[in-house]
Structure 1
């Protein structure tokens, strides 16, 4: 069995050894770059997924707020207890979505304001077959929220 000497004996061996010594670090760097790219790709995919989930939740919250406003107005016109229950269920659903969305909101003050509006809307206050002025303003702020 032939052993490769530490020092090359021919020009061909010298070129092969130089080629391997140069190629090995390049292969290691390429492998590290590939690993980093995979990690960044996974992170980007996760960010995209969470962004999509947050955007859908925000849209659902806007729709829930509009449904709440509609039910509130219907209750004020018809004074039907069934509509009050529908409104309270929608309010509860909005509250759950708000709690889930709290970590994404840009400012804690926005969360506190929305939570306060939601708490203030717990009791239906009607005036002249419609929500009173304060309730109408709170309903409007829930519908206009850019969460």
Structure 2
């Protein structure tokens, strides 16, 4: 059920090291904790399916525990140099589909609902926290 929230200390972190994505860091307009950005879709992934999705990415997600990762937030674009892997529909079977024009993707322990053309994030699910306890 954990959402990605950028702590104030992370807002000044170096891009790619727990702070905002590089393109957003330069703009200086990264959202305050708990708030989305200007391109935000009114969409939320159902966190009840987190464990179902996480088991498919267990080995990769576990390696990101206690490691620095980029911070993704709804409403902001994923940098073009980040290679987002599509999430097969069999992994999210039973979940509501992403918004029209969006798809589910995976990157560094995060499942994101994003627009593949603009790379704007509608919502983020942190799969690393599924294995953190």
TM-score by length of 2: 0.24
Q: Which has the higher strand share?
A: 2
Query: Which of the pair is proportionally richer in helix?
Result: 1
Higher CA-based Rg = 1
Q: TM-score, normalised by structure 1?
A: 0.22
